[in-house]
Chains A and B, each alone.
Chain A
Amino acid sequence: MSSMTRHAEQFDAKAARARCRRYRRRILDISQKVPALHIGGAFSCTEMVDVIYNALMRRRANGAPSPDTIVMSKGHGCIIQYVILEHLGVLNRADLDAYCTPTGRLGVHPDYGNPGIEASTGALGHGLAMAVGMALAERGRGTGGIVYVVLSDGELQEGSTWEAVLMASSLGLSNIVAFLDNNDFQSLGRTSRTHPTFYPVSDKLRAFGWEAVEVDGHDGAALFSAVAHREASCPLMVVGRTTKGKGVSYMENEPIWHYRSPSPEEYRRAVVELEATLQ
């Protein structure tokens, strides 16, 4: 492990905020080129995905792939993954510029085989079971690899997610760290209105043998701390309370921004707000 640095002991919250502002800005810029984004769901998990890539996943000194894995189970949020991979130099600027165009290779959902994409998702309720298989393989080989998963609260309605929740604890997979982007929205409205008895979610996860911690999903330090101080004797779910469309007031908690791209005027307002509110 000498060539590998453990994840940071300290979390630089200020630097993380600057990164997340930059990532949101990049997504807004891309939205002016191609109307194929899921801005709302990407902005709600920006801090989570940033913490995973920039603070939790270990890097090898020689630039070799991380021993850790990230699965974007909520595949529709994957534009945030792309802009971070661009920042890390795994994807290049031309890739992002050709997003969702015939000359590019990046689509709305993660496509296995593209640089940095470790599983294809897009249909909900698939990612966690694949993460269980990955974590099992890592344990079998004694690699010490940790599998990070980002889930949406909507996909917790999929029965297949709960099959995987059960398998992760039955197999004692302490090398699974999942983040729930609990933005309380699905296409048809609030998830807590669709299934009121489903909340709080943490109780259900604990009842299924997981460690569950609830934090502010836009507080990078809190997300980091929840993982850094985990018990590591069972799988962990960090339930992040988030706001869909976080960072742009008129997008926040408005389901239309699950699909829509901003007009030039909306884009201008969004940029001004982003720069002002997230200082």
Chain B
Amino acid sequence: MRNTFAEALYREATANPDIYVVVADISPAGNMARFATEFPGRFINVGVAEQSMIGICAGLALKGCRPFAYTIATFALYRPFEMVRDDLCYQNLPVTVVGMGAGVIYSTLGGTHHAQEDIAIAGAVPNMQIIAPCDPAECMEATRWCARQNVGPVYLRIGKAGEPVLTGTAEPWVFGKLRYLRRGRDVCILTHGCIAKLAAEVADRLEARGRSVSLVSAHTLKPLDREGIAEALRHHPSVIVIEEHAPLGGLAAQTKEIAWDVQAGCRLDAFTLQDRFIHNYGSWEDLLDAHGLSVEQILARVA
């Protein structure tokens, strides 16, 4: 996904001289190196200094530029949080904060590198928009949108590498709207980000058991497509949320709020990261499994 992000950003920068990327000591994967070589004046490495990364992006945007702040999710959002809040959100500037490797993708690096609660934190701040693309193709669309939008700050939550394409035959990507990757009648699975891969496997297994399944990428977490979610709750007897985020303030929590608001009559199951630090190591799948997020654990609860 990060390579796709770099590819999309490079393309946008070729056409728009106001695109800057301000990175905090992160290795330039894929076309990011090409960006740095071809546009050296617009590729700024602040080093290990994330507060200045955000402040500099704010200054660039105050002068009409379209900057992207780019580093590992925890360091992009948590370390410089007051700069994100005051410089970007309070001033409502079109800066994209790219949180790479969000969730527990850095599965062997421990809690310092896990962005488990980033959507809740970013989403609590007025003016902030949040996008979590579910695959590289969606990441391409989202990056392009971020480069061209003039609305305000965006937290773009992306994965790292190796995510499969899930949206090949899906309907077009539209900011702020749910995107159905497949449509069914019995069950609706709402998901976002890299864990969409696991959600797709759950959908496959449910279909193998004869259920008709909708699979939805809720890529825009803020503003959330509340109307779209209300409709999904109305039209499916069972709705399942699968997300790689803490139970507080993410898609699952908000779906429950909406379900109450619309007095939804469907069954609603939520599968999220737990509200605790997991001191386990291993693969990304191992970490998710330790939090209760595996195909088998999910199927055991919804079957």
Q: Which residues of A are in contact with B by a Cβ distance under 8 Å?
A: 112-113, 118-120, 122-123, 125-126, 128-141, 159-160, 163-164, 166-167, 171
- For the complex with contacts A129-B52, A133-B59, 12 further pairs of A-B residues with Cβ separation under 8 Å are A120-B91, A123-B86, A126-B87, A128-B55, A129-B55, A129-B59, A130-B58, A134-B60, A137-B64, A160-B55, A160-B83, A166-B49
Shortest C-beta distance, A25 to chain B (Å), equals 32
Find chain B residues with CB under 8 A from A118 CB. Answer: 62
Find chain A residues with CB under 8 A from B20 CB. Answer: 136, 140
Contact across chains for A129 and B63 when beta carbons are under 8 A apart? no
Contact across chains for A164 and B55 when beta carbons are under 8 A apart? yes
- The interface size bin for chain B is 20 to 34
What is the predominant secondary structure among interface residues of chain B facing chain A?
A: helix
Contact across chains for B55 and A159 when beta carbons are under 8 A apart? no
Closest 7 pairs (CB-CB, A-B)? A133-B59, A129-B55, A137-B63, A163-B52, A133-B56, A160-B51, A130-B59
Considering the chains assembled together, what is the distance between the CA atoms of A123 and B86 in angstroms? 8
Contact across chains for A129 and B64 when beta carbons are under 8 A apart? no
By beta carbon, the residue of chain A nearest B57 is A133
Contact across chains for B49 and A163 when beta carbons are under 8 A apart? yes
B229 at the interface (CB under 8 A from A): no
From B51, B57, B64, contact of A163 by CB (8 A): B51
Find chain A residues with CB under 8 A from B173 CB. Answer: none
Find chain B residues with CB under 8 A from A133 CB. Answer: 55-63, 67
Find chain A residues with CB under 8 A from B86 CB. Answer: 120, 122-123, 126
B65 at the interface (CB under 8 A from A): yes
20 contacts between A and B (CB under 8 A): A112-B62, A120-B87, A120-B90, A123-B86, A126-B55, A128-B55, A129-B55, A129-B83, A131-B59, A132-B52, A133-B62, A136-B20, A137-B59, A138-B63, A140-B41, A163-B46, A163-B49, A167-B46, A167-B52, A167-B56
B296 at the interface (CB under 8 A from A): no
By beta carbon, the residue of chain B nearest A147 is B59
Considering the chains assembled together, what is the distance between the CA atoms of A166 and B56 in angstroms? 12
